[in-house]
Amino acid sequence: MRANDPEDVVAGSAHEDAHLAADTATPETLPYDPGGDVEEAVAVDVAEVRPELADPTTVDAIVAPSRDVHVAEGEPLLSMRDVTMQFGGLTALDHVTFDIRRGEILGLIGPNGAGKTTAFNAMTGVYRPTSGTVLFDGEVIGKAARNEITRRGIARTFQNIRLFGEMTALENVVVGTDARHRTSVPGAVFRTRRHRAEERDAIDRGMALLEFVGIGARATERARNLPYGDQRRLEIARALATEPKLLCLDEPAAGFNPAEKESLMGLIRHIRDDGYTVLLIEHDMRLVRGVTDRIVVLEFGRKIADGTPEEVTSDPAVVAAYLGVPDDAAVPDLPEIGGPTTGAAPTTGGTR
């Protein structure tokens, strides 16, 4: 039986994330809902189940595990070297070269169709470059299977949310932690020591991560029933659960209102401060400007600028590329779990 210290709990209440209050986005369900009237849980009191998680420092300690954080900061973690991607006659990336450095938040921006998603897919091993190389942590991202690439330390979220809708929020995150686990069928059938240890670790880390992104109270709810904003946060938690060296966020603020964007920026900074390197792909210039350390701008598959937010936003080429395109003209996607990974954003709806 776990000790349940009331003071701990009260302390936890202060920690309650401010950004949650801004959670006004309409809840989205999946396009296909079998309509099972399966039990739905309401908010769980995390502090009651996992009292230690009421303490933000403990959460941070669990979230940023014992690994090479704050090591060799500023050194390139991922390098795009002269990468060209061609699909048939279409050149989606044209000799693109840039680095992502350890411990930074790099923004990758560009107008629609500039090749951001293609670059993203080349980095995460979904596409193999037509020419050029992608180096991650000193090794070429080559023919490795996609799950292998995750295990090498690149995690991502999806532009169109792709959670495992039937699983609870916690289970979604635990699938992420499983990327570091090694139990297979024999271990699970005979409940070996390692299996049990991994399962305990999975729940601890999973709950801590949910608490970290601010949706700990939703742990036992099915992902498909979470409000839109929480689904986006859950995706981040799931990606962090794989203990990545590089976290790639594909338009994490799509569909967010300004208050939500603000809290998201806080979260991203917090992630960086915990020792992760973050790649942020975003339409919203203001968000990118506010949170990133460095920005790479793509247009028509070519890199047109690379530098600090100040340098980039005053760059005439960038201004030209964005001329007449207000910040929020970039239209968010409607969340769609199980939808296609890539593809242009459907031009319907908007936040304002």
Residues between 185 and 214 with contacts to another protein, criterion CB under 8 A = 185, 187-189, 191, 195-196, 198-200, 202-203, 207
The residue among 99 and 243 lying less far from another protein, judged by its C-beta, is: 243
Shortest distance, position 178 Cβ to another protein, whole Å: 5
For residue 153 the two structure tokens come to 């330390």
Torsion angles phi and psi, residue 157, rounded to 5: -115, 170
Query: Min. distance of Cβ 48 from another protein in angstroms?
Result: 6
Please list every residue from 85 through 124 that binds another protein, using CB under 8 A.
124
Of 103, 165, 255, 275, the one binding another protein by CB under 8 A:
165
Q: Is 162 in the site for another protein (CB under 8 A)?
A: yes
Q: Is the Cβ of residue 127 or residue 322 nearer to another protein in the bound state? A: 127
* Strand order from edge to edge, sheet including 131-136: 90-101, 76-87, 131-136, 139-140
Residue 91 in contact with residue 129, Cβ under 8 Å? Answer: no
- If one asks whether residue 166 binds another protein (CB under 8 A), the answer comes out as yes
Dihedral angle of Cα 60, 62, 64, 67, to the nearest 10 degrees: 150
Residues 41/226, Cβ–Cβ less than 8 Å: no
Q: Kindly give the pairing relationship between strand 246-250 and strand 76-87.
A: unpaired
The radius of gyration of the chain from alpha carbons, rounded to an integer in Å, stands at 20
Q: Which is nearer to another protein, 182 or 323 (CB)?
A: 182
**To which residue do tokens 């369900």 refer?**
29
Distance CA 159, CA 127 (A): 17
Q: Is 65 in the site for another protein (CB under 8 A)?
A: no
Q: Among residues 256, 252, 219, 212, which one has the least CA distance to residue 235?
A: 252
169 vs 297, which CB is nearer to another protein? 169
User: Cα 11 to the chain's mean position, in Å?
Assistant: 28
41: region left, alpha or beta (phi > 0 left; psi from -120 to 50 alpha) = beta
When binding is defined by CB under 8 A, the residue of 236, 304, 321, 337 that contacts another protein is 337
Interacting stretch for another protein, rule CB under 8 A, among 15-23, 96-104, 276-284, 314-322?
15-23
Instruction: Please identify, among the stretches 65-73, 161-169, 274-282, 317-325, the one whose residues bind another protein according to the rule CB under 8 A.
Output: 161-169
Give CA–CA dist 89/92, Å, rounded.
Answer: 9
Question: Which span (36-44, 69-77, 103-111, 255-263) binds another protein, by CB under 8 A?
Answer: 36-44
> Shortest distance, CB of residue 295 to another protein, whole angstroms?
25
Which region, judged by CB under 8 A, interacts with another protein, from 44-52, 86-94, 280-288, 321-329? 44-52
Q: How far is CA 51 from CA 54, 197, 219, 330, in A?
A: 6, 20, 15, 42
**Minimum CB–partner distance for residue 73 and another protein (Å):** 25
- Provide φ and ψ at 223, rounded to 5°: -55, -35
From the CB of 58, what's the least distance to another protein, in Å?
A: 17
* 147 counts as binding another protein under rule CB under 8 A: yes
Contacts with another protein, 251-270, as mask; x by CB under 8 A: --------------------
Using the structure block, give the residue that is written with the tokens 């506010």.
290
Q: Give SS3 for 345.
A: coil
If binding is defined by CB under 8 A, does position 128 make contact with another protein?
no
Residue 254: CB minimum distance to another protein, A: 17
> Considering only residues 211-230, where is the footprint of another protein by CB under 8 A?
217-221, 225-227, 230
